[in-house]
Structure 1
Amino acid sequence: MTAIRPEVLVLDVNETLSEMESLRSRFEGAGLPGESLDTWFAATLRDGFALTAAGSYGAFRTIGADVLRSMLAGAGLAPDEATIGGVLFGFGELRVHPDVASGLRRIHDLGVRLVTLTNGAASMSERMFAEAGVLPLLEHRLDVESPGRWKPHPAAYQYAAEVCGVEVERMALVAVHPWDIDGARRAGLQGFYLDRRATPYPEAFLAPDLVVPDLLALAKALEAR
């Protein structure tokens, strides 16, 4: 599909901008296999989505801790708070993908406004963005606590539009998660699929307006519009 250059680019954070592989060692340190990270992250999203579908809300850290507590107990390990806190503390020590800093600078130089919108806590990524030198490029760093609904609920994207003072049609979401792209598109935004792992896009979801492998490729695509 042909995408018109948006006025505001809404950036997902977890996995889209942050490189989460380093968290595997923290799961291993807690006595779980490294691949438990994938199960934990999927289950945390599941429970956050479930609360949203029920018209309720739970903080990412609260839900993530609950899921980790269950995983530890299921593995016959003591689900003590120090262990859980140690694993979740790793989110504050993540780094961005190699393309993020240069890609965001090129997009920012085009005059496109940049904001982040995460189902986690916005404060969790401040250190990561500061270390990458992109914190000044981000006009707003938003999370879903204020709307009380996790993405992909339309209220989350509408909240970002209200904060930025633009119509949703003038925004585009960038994410590695097809469910996020689908939710943004149904809310009226464009959806730019950052296909970092060459993963087929699900046919059940609304198709993205643009598919790129990284943010440098996205910058190049936006330069042409």
Structure 2
Amino acid sequence: MTSVPATIIFDVNETLSDMRPLGDAFAHAGISASLAKPWFAEILRDGFALTAAGENPAFADIATDSLHRLLSAETTPGDHTEQVNQIMDTFKDLPLHPDAAPGIRALSQIAQLATLSNGATSVADNLMTRGKVREKFAHLLSVQSAARWKPAREAYDYAARELNQTHDQLLLVAVHPWDIHGANAAGMQTAWINRTGASYPTYFTPPDIEVESISDLADKLNGQ
């Protein structure tokens, strides 16, 4: 980390939103709660594949289609629209991680805040509003307005253009090493939120900062 960023950009899904309620939603739909995590990973995998093929899919379209197929495979074939809608409603109403709101408030005293998500801006807007931190964000950005999903270079270039800043003025905050790698390749500063004590993949460029929480990131940038 070489400088205080002009703008701190947050990834949204998993970085800010707590995915744990999805397990209960899966169980309520009649399938194992343990399938929630691989389901989300499949959305990312297929979104990345479409991005690599030159497309820019809607996150919700992939999520909905994959849920229909998952429910048919795990229960019985048929119309699972009600269960899919219930799971998607839960996904859209996830809470912030406990460390997110205090960290966001502290970081807003250091730099301008923005989001950059592979999902819709409405999801980020609702998440921040429920968490009572919406006013701390100057911009909510989505790759739906870019050429391709993160971690493609075009997504980070889009954010820099929208913010009217150079890449090295931006700090990308994420829990996903693939996002850290992509932002670093685009010339951004990076911060990895490692809440679980995981090992960082050696094949990805390491982050400039590694912390256990968003609150810890604020302390780090403040020099504590």
Say whether the fold is shared (TM-score over 0.5).
Answer: yes
How far apart are residue 4 of structure 1 and its match?
A: 2.0
TM-score (norm 2): 0.96
Letter in 2 for 1:139: A
Q: Which aligned segments of 4 or more residues in structure 1 are displaced greater than 6 angstroms?
A: none
Q: Which residue of 2 is the match for residue 125 of structure 1?
A: 124
Contact in 2 for aligned 1:190/1:209 (Cα 8 Å): yes
| 1:107-146 Cα distance to aligned partner (Å, 9 max, x none) | 1112x01001111111013222112221001011111101
Partner residue of 2:92? Answer: 92
CA contact (8 A) 1:72 1:79 kept: no
State the alpha-carbon separation in 2 of the partners of residues 194 and 180 from structure 1. Answer: 11
- The corresponding residue for 2:67 is 68
2:130 and 2:86 mapped to 1: Cα distance? 21
Distance in structure 2 (CA, Å) of the matches to 1:79 and 1:169: 49
The CA distance in 2 between the partners of 1:209 and 1:83, in whole Å, is: 41
Any stretches of 5+ residues in structure 1 without a counterpart?
A: none
Corresponding residue for residue 188 of structure 2:
189
Please provide the CA RMSD for this pair: 1.3
**Which consecutive unaligned segments of at least 5 residues does structure 2 have?**
none
Is 2:199 aligned against 1:169?
Answer: no
Secondary structure of 2:144's counterpart equals coil
CA distance in structure 2 between the aligned counterparts of 1:101 and 1:29, rounded to whole angstroms: 28
Tell me the distance in 1 between the aligned counterparts of 2:74 and 2:135: 43
Q: Which moved more, 1:68-77 or 1:170-179?
A: 68-77
What is the match of residue 109 of structure 1? 109
Identity of aligned residues (%): 39
Alpha-carbon distance in structure 2 between the residues aligned to 1:131 and 1:65: 23
Indicate the residue corresponding to 1:33 in structure 2.
Answer: 32
**Residue 79 (structure 1) shift:** 4.7
Contact 2:31 2:75 in 1 (8 A): no
Q: Matched residue of 2:130: which SS? A: helix
For 1:105 and 1:165, locate their aligned partners in 2 and report how far apart those are by CA, in whole Å. Answer: 23
1:19 to partner: Cα distance = 0.6
Instruction: Determine the structure 1 residue equivalent to 2:157.
Output: 158
Aligned-partner Cα distance in 2 for 1:24–1:47: 21
Matched, 1:51 2:87: no
Q: Deviations over 1:154-201 (max 9, x none)?
A: 111111111111011110100000000001001111111000111100
